[in-house]
Chain A
Amino acid sequence: DIQMTQSPSSLSASVGDRVTITCRASQSLYNYLNWFQQKPGQAPKLLIYSASGLQSGVPSRFSGSGSGTEFTLSISGLQPEDLGTYYCQQSYTTPLTFGGGTTVEIK
């Protein structure tokens, strides 16, 4: 199985800050990497597909980058509604696997 490692596991930031979350894979994914946001009590929601594609309807303050084994999700100008847990997921091969999550709190 491909192991996905996210860092940090949690962070606290102020409204307006730029936030960066890193996801590392145990082998190359090329660009088969997606990012999800999960708000408390809700299902995950797709934010970024194929490492850098912005899903329809997702605010442009979210962006993704990277390829191979290292990827980042950035939020430029953190908003109160961005609190939640963010997961990366590899879509390169089965079994599909997820990172352990990064919980974002608002200061």
Chain B
Amino acid sequence: QVQLQESGPGLLKPSQTLSLTCTVSGDSIISGDFSWNWIRQHPGKGLEWIGYIFKSGGAYYNPSLKSRVTISLGTSQNQFSLKLTSVTAADTAVYYCARAEKDTIDLWGQGTLVTVSS
């Protein structure tokens, strides 16, 4: 059974860089033809797709965040990461990592709350 788990700091100050890692258990990121996604949800709000990466390393980002976002594969075959620079209070959200097949998101992590506050 494949599972995803986000990890990283839960509290940041404005202007810092958000760094999160998603650990995939039960399978390898390179074993199938999936995209590995980051999605966020502002408190009490809807869902916003941040971007995804393929096992080849090719990545695609939401244009609304593209200038600040980097998604990369981890050093192991079971991790991928999100970096978001120059955070503000508007970046406070629950961040989810997720797996998709042909852009259909079929598996989600439990999510991790990141708060940006001075």
Contacts and interface: CB of A to CB of B under 8 A. Distances in A.
A98 B106 contact: no
Contacts of A46: 104-106
Contacts of B37: 96
Contacts of A101: 46
Contact of A44 (B47, B48, B100): B47
Interface stretch (A10-18, A19-27, A86-94): A86-94
Nearest to B37: A96
A43 B63 contact: no
Interface size class of chain B, counting residues whose CB lies under 8 Å from the partner chain: 20 to 34
A92 B104 CA distance: 9
Interface of A: 1, 32, 34, 36, 42-46, 49-50, 55, 87, 89, 91-92, 94-101
A62 to B, nearest CB: 15
B104 A34 contact: yes
A90 to B, nearest CB: 8
Interface string B20-63: 00000000000000000100000000111100000000001011
Nearest to A93: B103
